[in-house]
Each structure stands twice: as C-alpha cells, then as structure tokens.
Amino acid sequence: MIIAGFAPNSCVDYPKNIAAVVFLPGCNFDCWYCHNRDLIEGRFTPIDEKEVLEKIEKRKRFLDGVVITGGEPLLSPLNDLKAFIGKIKDMGLLVKLDSNGTFPDKLAELLPLVDYVAMDIKAPISQYRIVTPMREGLEENIKKSIRLLMSSNIDYEFRTTFDPNLTKNDIKEIAEMITGAKAYSLQQINIPKGHEDKLTRSSEYLTECAEIASQYVPTKVRNI
Ligand code: SF4
C-alpha cells in the first residue's frame, strides 16, 4: 500500500486516545479549504509500509491506536487496507478510519475491522458544491455511508468543517439528516493560503449552531 505520510504521535486525531497517524494519498474531492494538497496532488515521497509498521511496533506501548487518514483513505486498494488494518490489530492497537463517505461499499467491508470511523459531512447534501466539485452519484453514496454508520455497532462521529458559507439553517439540515447519531462535531476552519479574503464565522456563531444541532444529535465544537 502506498503511504504518503506518517505522524508517530497525535493527541487530537483519535478522540480520547493517543494515536499514530498514517496518511494515504489521493482524494476524489477537491475541497477549496483542503490543507492536504500535497497529498492529494502527488507531491510526496512514499514511505515504505514495512518501515511504518516497524515504527508503530516500536512505539506501541505509548499508543492507544492508529488513525488511517488522507486524502481519502478508501481510494487505496481494499485488500491492502484490510491487510494493513489486520497488522495494526495484531499489535493490540485500536484503528480509526477517516473518510469522506463516498465509498460505502468499501466502508461496509472495513466496518467489522476498525474501532472508530470519522466521516465528513461537508454541507447539506444538496449544497456540497459550495465546498467541492461533485461527480454524479456521490450524493447517494454519502447518504448510504451515513446509513451504514448509523446502523452499525461501531463508534463513529460525523464532522463538518465550518465553511463560512454555511448558515445555521444548513447545520440544522445536516443535524436533522443524522438525527439520533452517536456524535457530531463542528470544526472551525483554518483558511488556507490563497483564500485570505474569506472570513471565518465567529466562535459564538459556531456555538449557536452546535446548540441547534444538539436538538438532534450530541454535538461538540472543535478548534474555536
Ligand atoms: S475530502 Fe479531505 S483530503 Fe479530500 S479534498 Fe476535501 S479536505 Fe482535502
């Protein structure tokens, strides 16, 4: 499996756990606020999978788990993902998977193998195009992934990076769509270079949105 990046130690990528983070290349989205452009546009030096596994093995007594993120990790071959996850589990570590939710069939195959999934919901389904160009059919895939997670026994969260174009009504629409889900988080955006003209929403606005969303799903605000 091609690995594009590795962080040996993170306290923020796996809720309540200390985790190593493995970055897989490529993405089928092109979010204007993406901070992983090098990863998704191929500007990285691949790291040998064996080397990554050895580093994790050496550090495992300091770790609770490993986060597999991207890019979009589910672009990687399914069998490679299964084998990699199996090797992490054999070390006695938890596995968290991050995904944009556009590969529900692969997600379904991996759900029995992982411990936690964080899935992005970028906007109300009909408004994804304010964040990223969309191919036909992806909306349905995202809805399918949401249903899969909500009907699973696994720990998961949905999360929205707060594009400043989003409004309270948009967050209400997302929260209504995931009514009864285990967890939802709103994350303040980090405006990337080249978009300095865009203003972020205030912390108060995000908190008010979280209060609205909390009527439908347990909601947290991050990064404010
Ligand atoms: S889904 Fe994530 S990795 Fe892909 S373009 Fe959007 S922000 Fe970047």
- pLDDT computed for residue 176 by the predictor: 98
**Residue list, ligand 1 pocket, CB within 6 Å:** 27, 29-31, 34, 36, 40, 70-72, 100, 132
The dihedral built from the CA positions of residue 16, 17, 21 and 24, taken in this order, carries a sign that is negative
Within its chain, how far is the Cα of 215 from the centroid? 23
Question: Which residue among 28, 131, 132 has the greatest number of ligand 1 atoms within 8 angstroms of its CB, and so is best to mutate?
Answer: 132
Contact indicator for 2, 79 with CB cutoff of 8 Å? no
- pLDDT computed for residue 94 by the predictor: 98
The phi and psi torsions of 148 (rounded to 5 degrees) equal -60, -50
Q: Determine the Cα–Cα distance for residues 85 and 160; give it in Å rounded to an integer.
A: 26
Q: Which amino acid is at 73?
A: P
Closest residue (by CA) to atom 8 of ligand 1?
34
How many Cα neighbours within 13 Å face the side chain of 185?
16
Closest residue (by CA) to atom 3 of ligand 1?
71
217 CA to middle of ligand 1, Å? Answer: 24
- pLDDT computed for residue 85 by the predictor: 98
Beta strands in 4-139 (DSSP E): 5-14, 17-23, 65-69, 94-99, 116-120
pTM of the predicted protein model: 0.96
Domain count, the chain: 1
Per-residue pLDDT of the chain (224 residues; tens, 9 = 90+): 999 999 999 999 999 999 999 999 999 999 999 999 999 999 999 999 999 999 999 999 999 999 999 999 999 999 999 999 999 999 999 999 999 999 999 999 999 999 999 999 999 999 999 999 999 999 999 999 999 999 999 999 999 999 999 999 999 999 999 999 999 999 999 999 889 888 899 999 999 999 999 999 999 999 88
Residues spanned by the domain of 111? 5-222
Q: Determine the Cα–Cα distance for residues 18 and 24; give it in Å rounded to an integer.
A: 19
158 CA to middle of ligand 1, Å? Answer: 15
The phi and psi torsions of 152 (rounded to 5 degrees) equal -90, 170
Q: What's the 3-state SS for 105-135? A: HHHHHHHHHCCEEEEECCCCHHHHHHCCCCC
Token pair for 28: 């089928």
- pLDDT computed for residue 125 by the predictor: 96
Q: What is the CATH number of the domain that holds 22?
A: 3.20.20.70
- pLDDT computed for residue 199 by the predictor: 87
Beta strands in 134-223 (DSSP E): 155-162, 184-188, 219-222
